[in-house]
Each structure stands twice: as structure tokens, then as C-alpha cells.
Amino acid sequence: MSFAIAIDGPAASGKGTIARALAVYFGFHHLDTGLLYRATGVRGGDPVQAAQSLTAEDLTRDDLRSAGAGQAASRVAAIPEVRAALFDFQRRFAAREPGAVLDGRDIGTVICPDAEVKLYVIASDEIRAQRRAAELGADPAEMLLQLQERDRRDSERATAPLRPADDAVVLDTSDLAIDQAIAIAIEIVDKAWNRRLL
């Protein structure tokens, strides 16, 4: 039986780094669900058709980590038909053996509401802007405005808004080194894994 880990949170909170580390540590599959929306957004044209015809090759594009791709992802993610087209793909991935780690914005609330572990990773707006600016070589002040605009759009959308699941563990990485955040996440997953073995 598969073991699902759902990791949600706003951009540049550290959720992707934590998700990849957990997947490696536990030998699980990993899906950055944001890439599905980024790939859909940068393909252009009709977003619903783009989502329905998405291929594995689309997820390997070099431009998917750009700020523009992030904004495009946020726009298409607000379209219910796009979310529906990508829903089954994510659900199937979450059921992969021996386990799967999915990170995004609605994993614990919509995609995997029965996940064994749900983490909601946050950090202050300023810290997130500094991280994303360093990653992209951009201006922190401009990044702050972009992140706040994206947070507002993601949180206010009618379909699958960004919010923690009721039973999610909130992990604030504002004052943590990445190794510390990963260690805390591993401890949380270990406890859930051990409970399952009892």
C-alpha cells in the first residue's frame, strides 16, 4: 500500500526542497505539481487543451523555473477545467509504490486529502522574496511584489485555493537552515511511518 506525503505552501517557502529531500531519504517518487501548471501556462494557446495534452517532455523545458512561468502557472491554475485535466494525473502519481511525495498548493486539501502526512510549509514574505531573488538573480523588492500578487491570486481563487489542510503540520522555515527544516520534516514522516507499522 502506497504512502503519500502532501506538501503545500506558497512559492519560495522551501516546500520543493523539502519534498525532494524526503523523496530521496525514504526512496519515494516525487512530483512537483507546480511544474504541471507551469508547463501548461508556458505552452500558450488554450490552457485547457494544453493541460489535456501535456506530455512528460513538457515538464523538462528549461524555462519552467522562470518568474514568468510562475505567473503563468498561477493564472492557468485558477481555471477549474485545467485543474480537472491535471487532477487524475496527480492522483495516479500519489498512488505509486512504495510511496510518493507531492508538493504544490492543494495537495493536502484536494489531491491527497487522505495522505499519511500533510505539511504546510511557510516563511515570511521578505524571506521568500530574498530566496527567490537569489535563485533568479532578480531584485528582492520586485520579487516581493510578485510573490504577494501570486499569493493573493492563489489564496482567493474559487477552485482549490491555497490554504493548509485542517490536519496539516505547519512548518515555518523563516529562521531555519534548510538542513534543519529537512530534519524536522523527516522526523514528522518517521513518526507517521512508524504508526502505520504498528
The CATH superfamily label for domain 3-193 reads: P-loop containing nucleotide triphosphate hydrolases (3.40.50.300)
Q: Does 14 carry a binding-site annotation? A: yes
Q: Give the global pTM.
A: 0.87
More confident residue, 160 or 111: 111
Q: Does 10 carry a binding-site annotation? A: yes
User: pLDDT of 18-65, one tens digit each?
Assistant: 999 999 999 999 999 989 999 999 998 999 999 999 887 888 889 998
| pLDDT recorded at residue 180 | 98
Q: Does 11 carry a binding-site annotation? A: yes
Q: Does 137 carry a binding-site annotation? A: no
pLDDT band at 196 (very low <50, low <70, confident <90, very high): confident
Percent of the chain scoring above 70 in pLDDT: 99
| pLDDT recorded at residue 182 | 98
Sign of CA dihedral 137, 141, 142, 147: positive
Q: For residue 119, count other CB atoms closer than 10 A to its CB.
A: 29
Q: Does 27 carry a binding-site annotation? A: no
| pLDDT recorded at residue 78 | 86
Q: Does 12 carry a binding-site annotation? A: yes
Give yes or no for residue 110 having a pLDDT over 90: yes
Q: Which of 60, 56, 57, 54 is nearest to 41 (CA)?
A: 54
| pLDDT recorded at residue 77 | 87
The domains of the chain are located at 3-193
User: pLDDT of 145-174, one tens digit each?
Assistant: 999 998 998 899 888 888 999 999 999 999
Average pLDDT, the chain: 93
Single-letter amino acid code for the residue at 100: A
Three-state secondary-structure class, residue 5: strand
Q: Does 15 carry a binding-site annotation? A: yes
